Chain A
Amino acid sequence: MDHAWIDGQPVQLEAACAEAARLLERSRLPVIAGLGTDVAGARAAIALAQRTGAVVDHMHSEALLHVLDVVRDAGIMTTTPTEARLRADMLLLVGPLPADALPQLLSAKLRERIVIWLCPGGTVFGGKVQAIGRSPDLLPTLLAAARATIAGRPAGPAPVGVKTIRSLGDQLKAARFGVAVWSAAALDPLTIEMLCGLIKDLNVQTRFSGLPLPPGDNALGVLQVCGWMTALPPRTGFARGFAEHDPWRFDARRLVERGEADCVVWISTYDPAPPPWTRDVPTIALTSGGASLPRRPRVLIAVGCPGVDHDAIEYVAAAGTLAWEAAAARRTIIRVSDALDRIAAALPTSVASPC
């Protein structure tokens, strides 16, 4: 079975890595994007970016930054999935949630638990859930009204009746340990900030916390690696010789669509989704399984899926942290980290590595 191609022609891995190194070396602004990879892959990608002056961006940076923007503007109170499941006597579900999130959260049999769902959008759930509002567009005003009511301030216009808001406020304040649950991808930063402000306000009298449900493709694992290696999240560039973070400037999609990026390393080992741009750009693709690409990449290397084809460290949502995953169906196939290390080894030595 073939594992590497240049312009669609099968080649030896060494030839593919050498061609990838050549493309990176000639590039004015390379972008390492997708980043759907394990911890080792993320470490190798960031090290390669440091060497080549590239930008690193994760395919779910947008969702990550929704929460992170709130964290670095105001801070946040959060808890673990297990604490929410076992200890929360009130779950406040906010906005649309992935279908598989609820059965998990509600699986523990607690004596008493109130579940309120603000603006569920299209999602429907059969259990004992009080829904308030429907369209997620209403969330900012609904949350603002709830926050004002709790603080004893006059609430502005709310999309639901004053009585509903007042009773919502009373229920939230009566919780002994409430947890608000939302999907990082589904809410915008302003809504998240309002919700997090509400959580902080509630803690003056009682205990309340938040549980943002993370995006997939090991986004949180890659965020952690980026954090310890650079002290910054993804959407970080190294072109000036040090790490610089800018959510707008280093957005891979924008860089490609605007023609600023002239070479892309697209890494996607979990998800077959194609890159989110339409423009043609010389691409080195490291993908696994049936990843679909809109155009034939210059270099394609078939890599393993972490935790399936090979052992890996990834963010495990149920554990709320990085954990070691043994291969579920081990087979001999190159890992992202090995492929990137080989590409780095094929670069001229004049580009020194810091780690």
Chain B
Amino acid sequence: MLTRITGGRVIDPTAERDEIGDVWLRDGRISAPPPAGTQPDETCDAAGKIVMAGAIDIHSHIAGANVNTARLLLPEWHRASAARPADTPLSNAGWPTFETGCRYATMGFTMVVEPAVAPHYALHAHLELADIPIIDKATLSILGNDDFLLRLLRDKESADAVRDYVAWTIDTTRAIGIKVVNAGGAAAFKANGRQFSLDDAVPDYGVSSRAIVKALQHAVHDLRLPHPLHVHCNNLGLAGNAETALATIAAAEDLPLHLAHLQFYGYGSEGERGFSSAAARVAEAVNRAKNVTVDVGQVMFGPTVTISSDVLRQFNARSQAHPNKWTIFDGDANGWGIVPYEYRANNFYNAVQWAVGLELFLLIDDPTRVFFTTDHPNGAPFTTYPQIFALLMSRDLRAEWIARLPRPAIELTTLPSIRREYSLGEIAAMTRAAPARLFGLKDRGHLGPGAVADIVVYSDDADRAKMFGGAALVFKDGKLVVRDGKVTREQWGRALTVRPGYDHNIDRRLRDYYAERYGLAHDFMRVPEAAISRPEPFEHVPCAR
């Protein structure tokens, strides 16, 4: 079947293409234009519309035992979604798996990375992901607070041992990469530590947070995984923590490193309340460090819930829970904490946070090194994305918002002085081309021949929030799945994985370790293909950058 999407403005930064033209697709892939005169089986008129590849969200907590805990903690979210009109913030949360896939698809997203899978819960996470329709998925497995790694580092074992362990974990849990969350901080919290920084040592192991990050960064690099180590730094959310971000960027030492939700580390300690924006300094450091990529974790105002494997931080944030209930799970390694929270436009701190996110977006020069996230749902539900695109694309709209926020907060930021407006090409680079590159996905994020036919057609509406809120057409794997902002076809995506090789000696060691420590077979966390009751649930992404 040959389809032609014709007459739209085709924006494909990978090919440096921005022109009125056609996109051809055949059997689920983009194809080169056929010889002149060839008649397509189907033609979609995109005149006056924008054509882009499907968007990729690189960091959104959409599935797994931690997310499910949040669902069960907050039945009122569900009551709200059932009983209220469809356009209230809570009803837009995309809460159960089915809605999650549908809502992402209607916005033109065709792949989402779930960034926080505790290895022991990998099967659970993949089962949930398999129940999210339409979009493709991938997971990051969390290491860095687990006893096995901390022992390897304490006992000064070889880099090979760490590398094999990382590879074994990725392979067994079917992940696409590794994330470290407050390296050592959860282990320190188990020993009653209440704060933990880059050069603090984990009690009982004597290993510093920096040493954990470096060991994992090198292992990921040596394995030639496409995605660099994904780092959730220490001291999330604290005044003055820009120093932590700067120190972590410096610690990257020219090797690739991804810093997650940088907005939560963009804080200085100036002003009457000792809380200010340090986004300009952090952005400058990112601009200089070409080896570093970041995603933003933009805050938007409204009720949400924070879901984090940084148990130490979540415990310290418990007094801010709104509604007043929270859970902390001391896991075998990281565990997690769930703290509901409401960002308010009239709250000084929340207004600074909102501005810090936008400053980072706008002050980091290269749109392929700053990624578009709200750290869903931590900064805001993913359903707020259309509004954020609009804010990035219009300084007038930002000015309207700024006028409604507390002046003392805005004065401690540089946001009002920033004139930059994102172009559609930059939006496409940030949400399509760059994410595909960040995860080594050669056949996604662009519209060149051979790419997976994940294609979005947006109406070129001056109201950008409206435009990005409901795509005119979405093709997933060449099939039309969304028309006029509504899902028209149900189908199931795949989970993308990498499979680095490892020395099987690590398998024997882990078998003994799990038998002794847990009384369990060490592969209880494995995700057999047969466990996922969908055809072809996985897709393999090659290693080697």
Binding site for B on A (CB under 8 A): 39-40, 43, 68, 71-80, 82-83, 86-87, 176-177, 203, 206-207, 209, 223-224, 227-233, 242-245, 311, 313, 316, 318-324, 337, 354-355
Contacts and interface: CB of A to CB of B under 8 A. Distances in A.
Secondary structure type dominating chain A contacts:
mixed
B327 A82 contact: no
B77 interface: yes
Contacts of B124: 224, 321-322
B321 to A, nearest CB: 7
Interface of B: 63, 65, 67-68, 71-75, 77-78, 82, 95-98, 120-121, 123-124, 127-128, 131, 133, 189-192, 315, 321, 324-332, 335, 338, 490, 517-520, 524-528, 530-531, 533
Nearest to B133: A355
Contacts of B96: 228-231, 243
B330 A83 contact: yes
Given A75-B326, A78-B330, A319-B120, 20 more contacts: A75-B73, A78-B329, A80-B332, A82-B517, A176-B191, A209-B328, A224-B68, A227-B68, A228-B63, A228-B131, A229-B97, A231-B78, A231-B95, A233-B72, A243-B82, A244-B82, A318-B519, A323-B524, A355-B131, A355-B490
Most chain B CB inside 10 Å of its own CB: which residue of A75, A233, A318, A320: A75
Contacts of B327: 71, 75-78
B72 A68 contact: yes
B517 A86 contact: yes
A207 B519 contact: no
Nearest to A68: B72
14 contacts: A71-B72, A72-B74, A74-B324, A76-B327, A79-B330, A83-B332, A87-B190, A177-B191, A207-B191, A223-B72, A231-B96, A313-B123, A313-B127, A321-B65
Secondary structure type dominating chain B contacts:
mixed
B343 to A, nearest CB: 20
A72 B192 contact: no
A138 to B, nearest CB: 27
Most chain B CB inside 10 Å of its own CB: which residue of A82, A83, A228, A318: A228
A337 B72 CA distance: 24
Given A228-B63, A316-B524, A176 B192 contact: yes
Contact of B331 (A40, A76, A80, A324): A80
Contacts of B525: 319, 323
A44 B191 CA distance: 43
B533 A40 contact: yes
Nearest to B524: A323
B520 A319 contact: yes
A30 to B, nearest CB: 21
B98 A355 contact: yes
B334 to A, nearest CB: 12
B174 to A, nearest CB: 12
Contacts of A311: 530
Contacts of B190: 83, 87, 177, 207
B331 A322 contact: no
Contact of B78 (A39, A245, A320): A245
